[in-house]
Amino acid sequence: MNSFWQERPLSELSRKEWESLCDSCGKCCLQKLEDEDTGDIYFTNVVCDLLNLECNRCTRYMERSVLVPNCITLTLNDLLDPYYLPSTCAYRLLSEGKDLPEWHPLVSGDIETVEHSGNSIRGRVVVESEADDWEHHLIDWVS
Ligand code: SF4
């Protein structure tokens, strides 16, 4: 039997279904550097100060776009070219016509598979207010 994300496009999901797709990996809260010439994105291990480092969830989710003006509230429009999202992001995968990975909580039934598969940022990051130059924090474990 197919699951809801396999049966219907993102545009037809309920708000609850849409939100449930987020695996709480936290990778989208990593600060990034962009090469102005090529547009290439480089991830750092620096995270927004508002992130809860235990559960990888925003502590001010409802107010985040006011408190952090460049924080993106993801919409279908943003997924037309989701180059700035990590390649494992559920929203990016589905918008690219791919399925969710086996470690995704909706597939595994266990939120801990995100960390066990090496896809959580938990324990691997530093908050923005304590970080020095972001160029010193470039990482290769997120693409
Ligand atoms: S990268 Fe995607 S799946 Fe991971 S926390 Fe961000 S929105 Fe959720």
142 within a domain of the structure (yes/no): no
Report the separation in Å between the CA atom of 33 and the middle of ligand 1, taken as the mean of its atom positions: 18
Q: Global pTM?
A: 0.92
Instruction: Report the distance separating Cα 138 and Cα 136, nearest Å.
Output: 6
**Residue 80 forms part of a structural domain:** yes
Encode pLDDT of 19-78 as tens digits: 999 999 999 999 999 999 999 999 999 999 999 999 999 999 999 999 999 898 899 999
143, part of any domain = no
Query: For residue 25, how far is its CA from the centre of ligand 1 (angstroms)?
Result: 6
Does 15 map to a domain?
yes
Task: Give residue ranges with CB within 6 A of ligand 1.
Answer: 22-28, 85-86, 89-91
- Report yes or no on 31 lying in a domain: yes
- Could you tell me if residue 3 is inside a domain? no
| pLDDT of 1 strictly over 90 | no
End-to-end CA distance of the chain: 32
Let me know if 125 is exposed, middle or buried by CB neighbors in 10 A (0-12, 13-18, 19+): buried
Provide the number of structural domains found in the chain.
Answer: 1
Residue numbers of the domain that contains 133: 10-137
